[in-house]
Structure 1
Amino acid sequence: MSADLAHIRQVMAEADCLYTDAQVEAAISQVAEAINGELAERNPVVFCVMNGGLIFAGKLLPKLDFPLELSYLHATRYRNETSGGELFWKAKPEISFIDRDVLIIDDILDEGHTLAAIIDFCKHAGAANVHTAVLIDKTHDRKARPDLKANYVGLPCEDRYIFGYGMDYKGYWRNAAGIFAVKGL
């Protein structure tokens, strides 16, 4: 069952723009600069978390000026809903990262259940070190673990339901150029 497109369009029309396209692009450049400074000599395996991390990874990777191996993984809790459920693995990593540094690229660190599960998976599967890069870090006190922090963060964000740059509203608006908050959420 597809969403009501009139509703989907209205959500965008009424949304609050939290970060413009230019602000997001500047933040991605800063993340790339930090990663270049720290991981360039570590021969990392980079995993894009699908689907949310796709746009952030696509913008970030060309700014990384060192050799790396790239793959993806797909783990989700949302499944096109607006609140999280149990973790569901759609695709696990296929490149070996035993005794290697791993960089996980994702769209958002919200409560962090998905990211924490991915980090644990990589550590238990033999990664030497696991680094995380997120475009958005939501500001609230509901993190899955109190010590869960991304190594590289593009932008902080208030605790609202957001979309754009890979993040979706009911499966839509991942392609929005900017970070937007749903009115009333």
Structure 2
Amino acid sequence: MPSATPPPEHLREVVESVLIGETEIAARVRELAADIERDFVDQDLLVVALLTGTVPFLADLIRHITLPLRLDFMGVSSYGNNTAPGELVFTKELRLEAQNRDVLLVDDILDTGKTLRAVIDKLNALQPRSLKTCVLLEKISRRAEEITADYVGFEVPDA
């Protein structure tokens, strides 16, 4: 098997600092999908994804979920400086009805927990039958809210 071409010099440091490889991510996403399928079998599944960073993870995840599901999106922005999260503003609301549905909220990174907490509170106000959360990456060291995701791909350090 031929060896991989080394990255260009200007990208070498970035490539060497990759925490989780593509193969490992793909395998873990398949595992998450299997766990979700097991837990949501015979349920009325509504997948709600947070825009926009979640989309690549979401696409991979739902590709491996064979259950019937409905998909919707919510947009949330934090207006503040780049180092400290500011006030959260919902920029896109759900189109689909969440009441009495089994909702799976998908996000790419659970960091401080403030965004996920705000979205969970908003979704709970819509009275879903159940609400679970799925994140690809979790940074526990920066957690400001007491919150955990139901499905976690990887725990990563704050970098």
Question: Is the structural similarity TM-score above 0.5?
Answer: yes
For residues 20-78 of structure 1, give each alpha carbon's deviation from its aligned partner in whole angstroms, at most 9, with x where no partner exists: 11111111111111101101221111111101110110000010011011111111226
Equivalent residues of 2:135, 2:153 under 8 A apart: yes
Equivalent residues of 1:40, 1:67 under 8 A apart: no
Q: What's the CA shift for 1:136?
A: 0.3
Superposed counterparts of 1:144-183, under 5 Å = 144-146=144-146, 148-160=147-159
SS of equivalent residue, structure 1 residue 26:
helix
What amino acid sits opposite 2:123 in the alignment?
Answer: C
For residues 155-181 of structure 1, give each alpha carbon's deviation from its aligned partner in whole angstroms, at most 9, with x where no partner exists: 110111xxxxxxxxxxxxxxxxxxxxx
Match of 2:4 in 1: none
Match of 1:73 in 2: 74
What amino acid sits opposite 2:144 in the alignment?
Answer: A
In 2, the alpha carbon distance for the partners of 1:75 and 1:137 equals 18
Equivalent residues of 1:116, 1:144 under 8 A apart: no
Q: What's the CA shift for 1:139?
A: 2.7
> Does 1:18 find its partner at 2:53?
no
Match of 1:49 in 2: 50
% same residue = 30
> Where in structure 2 are there 5+ consecutive unaligned residues?
1-9
CA-based RMSD: 1.9
Q: What's the CA shift for 1:80?
A: 9.4
Match of 1:129 in 2: 130
SS of equivalent residue, structure 1 residue 106:
strand
Q: Which runs of 4+ in 1 moved over 6 A?
A: none
Bigger Cα Rg:
2
SS of equivalent residue, structure 2 residue 18:
strand
Equivalent residues of 2:46, 2:101 under 8 A apart: yes
What amino acid sits opposite 2:124 in the alignment?
Answer: K
What amino acid sits opposite 2:77 in the alignment?
Answer: T
TM (normalized to structure 1)? 0.74
In 2, the alpha carbon distance for the partners of 1:13 and 1:91 equals 38
In 2, the alpha carbon distance for the partners of 1:25 and 1:63 equals 10
Q: Which has the higher contact order (CA 8 A, sep 6+)?
A: 1
